Amino acid sequence: MKKLLVLGMLALAGLALAQPKVFKGTEVGKPGGSLRTSSISDPRTFNPFVARETSSTDIISNFFPYLTSYSPYTLQPEGALATSWEVRNNGLTVIFKLRQGAKWSDGQAISADDVIFSATVHADPKVNSNSRSSFILDGQPIKWSKVDQYTVRADFPKPYAPALIQSWSIVPEHIFGPAYRQGPEKLQALYNLDTPPAQIVVGGPFMLDQYAKGERLVLKRNPSYWGTDEKGNPVAYLDRWTFQIVANTEAQLARFLGGDTDLYAAPDGDKVAQVLERIRAGRLAGQIFPNADVTTGTNFIVFNWNNKDPFKANLFRQVKFRRAMAHLMDKKSMIEVAQGGLGRPQWSPISIPVKQFFTDDVAKYEFNPQRAAQLLAELGFRTKNKDGFLVNAQGQVLEFNLATNQGNTLRERIAQIFADEAKKAGVKVNYRPIDFNELVRQLTSPSADGTRDFDAILIGLTGGIEPAFSRNVWELNGSLHTWNQGVNGQNPKQVESFEVLIDKLMKQGATTLDPAKRREIYVQFQKVVAENLPLIYTVAPAYNPARLNRIGGLFDKDQVSAIVGQYPYIETVFAKD
Cα–Cα distance, 51 to 2 (Å, whole number): 43
Q: What is the pLDDT of residue 488?
A: 86
pLDDT at residue 18 tops 70: no
Would you list the DSSP string of 186-253?
HHHTTT-TTS-GGG----SSEEEEEEETTTEEEEEE-TT--EE-TTS-EE---SEEEEEE-SSHHHHH
End-to-end CA distance of the chain: 24
pLDDT tens-digit series, residues 122-161: 999 999 999 999 999 988 999 999 999 999 999 999 999 9
Would you list the DSSP string of 458-479?
EEEE---S-GGGGHHHHSTT-T
3-class secondary-structure state, position 400? strand
pLDDT tens-digit series, residues 207-247: 999 999 999 999 999 999 999 999 999 999 999 999 999 99
Helix axes 319-327, 369-378, angle to 10 degrees: 160
Residues 6+ away with beta carbon under 8 Å from 144: 115, 116, 119, 120, 135, 152, 153, 154, 155
pLDDT tens-digit series, residues 39-70: 999 999 999 999 999 999 999 999 999 999 99
pLDDT tens-digit series, residues 384-438: 999 999 999 999 999 999 999 999 999 999 999 999 999 999 999 999 999 999 9
CA distances from 236 to 14, 211, 215, 324 (A): 14, 20, 24, 51
Q: What is the pLDDT of residue 13?
A: 36
DSSP one-letter code for 87: E
3-class secondary-structure state, position 326? helix
DSSP one-letter code for 453: S
Q: What is the pLDDT of residue 6?
A: 35
As a whole-number percent, the residues of the chain with pLDDT over 90 amount to 95
Cα–Cα distance, 243 to 257 (Å, whole number): 16
Q: What is the mean pLDDT of the chain?
A: 95
Count other Cβ atoms within 10 Å, centred on residue 197.
Answer: 14
- Identify residue 114 by its one-letter amino acid code: D
pLDDT at residue 167 tops 90: yes
pLDDT tens-digit series, residues 520-554: 999 999 999 999 999 999 999 999 999 999 999 99
pLDDT at residue 7 tops 60: no
Tell me the pLDDT band of 489, cut-offs 50, 70 and 90. Answer: confident
Closest by CA to 413, choosing from 546, 236, 541, is: 541
Would you list the DSSP string of 331-390?
HHHIIIIISTT-EEE--SSS-TT-TTT----S----S-HHHHHHHHHHTT--EE-TTS-E
Beta-sheet strands, E only, within 262-358:
263-265, 286-288, 293-294, 298-303, 343-345
Q: H-helix or E-strand containing 86?
A: strand 82-88
Cα–Cα distance, 358 to 347 (Å, whole number): 11
DSSP one-letter code for 520: H
Cα–Cα distance, 7 to 25 (Å, whole number): 22
Query: Could you tell me whether strands 77-79 and 68-70 are parallel, antiparallel, or unpaired per DSSP bridges?
Result: antiparallel
Residues 6+ away with beta carbon under 8 Å from 481: 472, 473, 474, 475, 492
Question: Would you say how long the chain is, in residues?
Answer: 577
**Is the preceding omega at residue 236 within 30 degrees of 0, hence cis?**
yes
